[in-house]
């Protein structure tokens, strides 16, 4: 039986905060691995005018996790196609490996809005909800039983990275080097 962390996101782009959280939660909970699941079409971001292609976001995550012990990129939601719902992703992990113990990793902001998610009541039945708490966060808690893992303060977000890129500022130190090289090669983010 594997203990699997499921850390979903748009990763547009992946940044050092994502990698640090995945590694911290893996160590804190002694997980076999953490899967960074790249969203195909996240329902929460349907109104966003520009979303990088899913295959590019996956390639960035693959590059970013190379050499990070126990952290892997997952194309599960991209392969499934359509809109992305966490409950369906957890079902796919459970059905593919029925003996695995699943741990859904969420930031406190996402966790606080869990009751707005599609079939949210089923999520806690399939996976332990793990809330990543950072110094200075709002400390929002989901409406389900959960575990909290404290993570270091890394004040970076994908939207902030995109804003910096649009302004022409360097992204070195914010985006893992291999992912940044991919961005430059493909002409993503400015």
Which sequence spans correspond to the domains of the chain?
A: 3-186
In whole angstroms, give the CA distance from residue 125 to residue 121: 7
Q: Quick one: pLDDT at residue 150?
A: 83
Question: Does position 142 have pLDDT exceeding 70, yes or no?
Answer: no
Task: Write down the pLDDT at residue 190.
Answer: 74
Least confidently predicted of 69-78, 103-112, 174-183: 103-112
Question: What 3-state class would DSSP assign to 148?
Answer: strand
Crossing angle of helices 54-65 and 177-186, in 10° steps, is: 150
> What Cα–Cα distance (Å) separates residue 96 from each residue in 62, 76, 89, 101?
21, 11, 11, 12
Q: At 67, is the secondary structure helix, strand, or coil?
A: coil
What the block records as the tokens of 34 is 């953490």
pLDDT over 70 at 27, yes or no = yes
Query: Which pTM was predicted?
Result: 0.91
Contact 180, 171 (CB under 8 A): yes
* 3-186 CATH fold: Rossmann fold (3.40.50)
- Contact assessment for residue 70 and residue 42, using Cβ atoms and an 8 Å cutoff: no
Whether residue 7 contacts residue 107, with contact meaning beta carbons closer than 8 Å, is answered with: no
* Distance separating alpha carbons of residues 126 and 95, to the nearest angstrom: 11
Output the pLDDT for position 46.
66
Cα gap 4→6, rounded to integer Å: 6
Percent of the chain with pLDDT over 90: 69
Percent of the chain at pLDDT exceeding 70: 91
- CB-based burial label for 80 (10 Å; 0-12, 13-18, 19+): middle
**pLDDT attached to residue 75:** 98
CA angle at residue 175 from 131 to 8, to 5 degrees?
Answer: 35
Look at residue 135 and tell me whether its pLDDT is greater than 60: no
Mean pLDDT (the chain, rounded): 90
Residue range 147-166: mean pLDDT, rounded: 87
Residue 141 pLDDT: 65
């Amino acid at each position: 039986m594997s203990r699997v962390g499921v850390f979903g996101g748009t990763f547009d782009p992946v940044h050092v905060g994502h990698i640090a959280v995945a590694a911290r939660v893996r160590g804190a909970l002694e997980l076999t691995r953490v899967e960074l699941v790249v969203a195909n079409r996240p329902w929460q971001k349907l109104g966003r005018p520009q979303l990088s292609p899913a295959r590019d976001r996956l390639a960035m995550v693959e590059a970013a996790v190379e050499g990070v012990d126990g952290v892997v990129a997952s194309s599960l939601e991209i392969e499934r196609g359509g809109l992305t719902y966490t409950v369906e992703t957890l079902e796919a992990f459970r059905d593919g490996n029925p003996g695995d113990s699943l741990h859904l990793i969420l930031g406190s902001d996402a966790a606080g809005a869990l009751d707005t998610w599609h079939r949210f009541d089923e999520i806690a039945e399939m996976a332990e909800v793990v809330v990543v708490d950072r110094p200075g966060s709002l400390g929002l808690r989901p409406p389900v039983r959960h575990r909290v893992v404290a993570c270091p303060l890394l004040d970076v977000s994908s939207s902030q990275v995109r804003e910096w890129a649009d302004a022409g500022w360097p992204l070195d130190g914010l985006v893992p080097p291999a992912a940044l090289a991919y961005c430059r090669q493909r002409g993503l983010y400015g």
